[in-house]
Amino acid sequence: QVLILDFGSQYTQLIARRVRELNIYSEIKPYNKLPEDLSAFQAVILSGSPFSVRAEDAPHPDLSQIKGKKPLLGICYGAQYLAHFHGGNVAPSATREYGRAHLAGIKSDDGFLSGIPEGSQVWMSHSDTIKELPKGAVRLASTEDVENAAFKLKGETTYGIQFHPEVYHTTEGKKLLENFLVKIAGLKQDWTPDAFVETSVAELKQKIGSDKVILGLSGGVDSSVAAMLLHRAIGSQLHCIFVNNGLLRKNEFHDVLEQYKGMGLNVKGVDASARFLDALKGEADPEKKRKIIGRVFIEVFDDEAHQVENAKWLAQGTIYPDRIESVSASGGPSATIKSHHNVGGLPDFMKLKVVEPLHLLFKDEVRRVGRSIGMPEAILGRHPFPGPGLGIRILGDITAEKVSILQEVDAIFIEGLKKWGLYDKVWQAGAMLLPVQSVGVMGDERTYEKCVALRAVESTDGMTADWVNLPYEFLQKTSNEIINRVKGVNRVVYDISSKPPATIEWE
């Protein structure tokens, strides 16, 4: 496997993903937490960084166990770091260099740059530059503005590149990573979804033995794939619980439960709608609504978990980005059950041992594994849906009537997207029920009814998003259908705000 030392670059996760796209397993570690035992790593990549190597407080880890001993590739800051500490000279460049550049004077005899043509486009993003290479270094390529765009240290498999091979704008970036990892480091490209399924099933079997495991299914991709893997490993020892909080999409509880049963899962559907709606009665504050939904979920789940006698494990669908320790320490997303927990003693199910079958995977890899294990496309391709469900799309207080209105509106919108072939082009879509009424006219009657907002966004991770330019004709038909068919709604608007500054959900 490959070790990626993170110096805080915004692209570090992208390096890991590119490496994995080559079917080679990679792990990210912060530069200041270098693993003591490096024997499992056959190659090391140093990431970029917002720092200058010349700054006192810049990351300066001790690489004596790596450099000259294992194949090593420094990217951007990583390359400058190698130059700076081995007798080269790194200085501010006259102009900050961002964007496209083209390689020239390529030397490819040792294989590192083989197959990469003269003029190949690369992507730069740096303000320091390597003015002089370390002693014993050989220049492998330059660009218009950067003389030392790629170099190698003689007698070692140590390389530095000033550009970013991990971004798509570096057209031969993947080829370069493949050259380094396969030709130079001799890694095998055998980390495939099938291989992942095979090894994790074997590991889960071994770890869990004949114990019982509890897992909360949400209808989303992660918990579903986690369940499938465990099911393959331990069959009916896995007890899945799927809770209806009364805030799911129209028919979702029934349909998803049937799908799960069709996949052979041992799943219990628990309809706790009334309990949730009751607890939410009269509450209009968004954060309080979220907390109530989280608390009741834990109570219901705890009750159900007690029905499974002698359970030893709690399975969670945590994925790799939830666990990466980030150098910038912004505290990444954590969608695990625990984060909902309030003070007042742990519910019993939280005292179980935790098993997280997807903790090594990125989101797109979860999908690939799901596909390899035979998960229906209907689940794999589903848009993200928030845990509190329609509860945070009904602005203000929640009633059964409002839920039912929004379910109808949402169903028309989502079905429409599917019919028009737009569903897969959108990252997430849904409808919001607004706490306003407005005047309309239907037939000869004046109406005074509710307004709904439709929202469709494109995004990669939900952190930033932009609204989708849906065809006017689609919006027109959808709006007509909603107003004609859903009693209580006389106005439809389309949300054209990006995130930031807006958020995807309205609460």
**223 marked ligand binding residue:** yes
Query: 218 a known binding residue?
Result: yes
- What backbone torsions phi and psi does residue 100 show, to the nearest 5 degrees? -70, 145
Q: What is the DSSP pairing of strand 267-271 with strand 311-315?
A: unpaired
| Catalytic option among 164, 178, 240, 507 | 164
Query: Pick the catalytic residue: 97, 166, 178, 252?
Result: 166
Are 433 and 388 contacting, i.e. CB atoms less than 8 angstroms apart? no
Strand partners, 430: 455
| 150 within 8 A of 159, measured Cβ to Cβ | yes
Residues that bind ligand XMP (CB under 6 A): 290, 335, 384, 386-388, 428, 462, 499, 503-505
Check the annotation: does 221 bind a ligand: yes
| 466 marked ligand binding residue | no
Secondary structure element (H or E) that encloses residue 262, with its range: helix 252-262
Closest separation between CB of residue 406 and ligand XMP, Å?
Answer: 15
Minimum Å distance from CB 287 to ligand XMP? 10
CB of 383 to ligand XMP, least distance (A): 8
Alpha-carbon gap, residue 233 to 201, rounded angstroms? 5
Residue nearer to ligand XMP on the CB measure, 64 or 330: 330
**Between 32 and 503, CB nearer to ligand XMP:** 503
Is 452 annotated to bind a ligand? Reply is: no
The span from the CA of 25 to the CA of 1, in Å, is 5
Selecting among 76, 84, 304, 408, the annotated active-site residue is 76
User: Any catalytic annotation for residue 166?
Assistant: yes
Kindly state the smallest distance separating residue 428's Cβ from ligand XMP, in Å.
Answer: 5
Q: Which is nearer to ligand XMP, 243 or 335 (CB)?
A: 335
| Beta carbons of 193 and 372 less than 8 angstroms apart | yes
Comparison of 327 and 504: residue with beta carbon closer to ligand XMP: 504
Query: HEC states along 105-133?
Result: CCCCCCCCCCCCCCCCEEEEEEEEEEEEC
What is the spatial distance between Cα 236 and Cα 150, in angstroms, rounded to a whole number?
Answer: 55
CA-to-CA distance for 221 and 318, rounded, in angstroms?
11
| C-alpha–C-alpha distance, residues 397 and 330, integer Å | 32
How many CB atoms neighbour CB 80 within 10 A?
A: 29
326 is in an annotated binding site: no
Other CB atoms within a 10 A radius of the CB of residue 385 amount to 17
**Which one, 396 or 488, has the nearer CB to ligand XMP?**
396
Of 150 and 504, which has the nearer Cβ to ligand XMP? 504
CA–CA gap between residue 43 and residue 20 (Å, rounded)? 13
Q: How far is the CB of 382 from ligand XMP (least distance, A)?
A: 12
Residues in the chain, overall count: 507
Q: Is 164 a catalytic residue?
A: yes
> If you ran DSSP here, which 8-state letter would residue 349 be given?
G
Beta carbon of residue 401, minimum distance to ligand XMP (angstroms, whole number): 23
Closest contact distance (angstroms) between CB of 393 and ligand XMP is 9
What single string gives the DSSP state of each residue in 273-318? HHHHHHHHTT---HHHHHHHHHHHHHHHHHHHHHHSTTEEEEE---
Give burial (CB, 10 Å; 0-12/13-18/19+) of 78. Answer: buried
Task: Tell me if 115 is assigned to a ligand binding site.
Answer: no
CB 196 within 8 A of CB 357: no
Q: Which residues are annotated as a binding site for ATP?
A: 218-224
Q: Which residues are annotated as a binding site?
A: 218-224
Which residues are known catalytic residues?
76, 164, 166
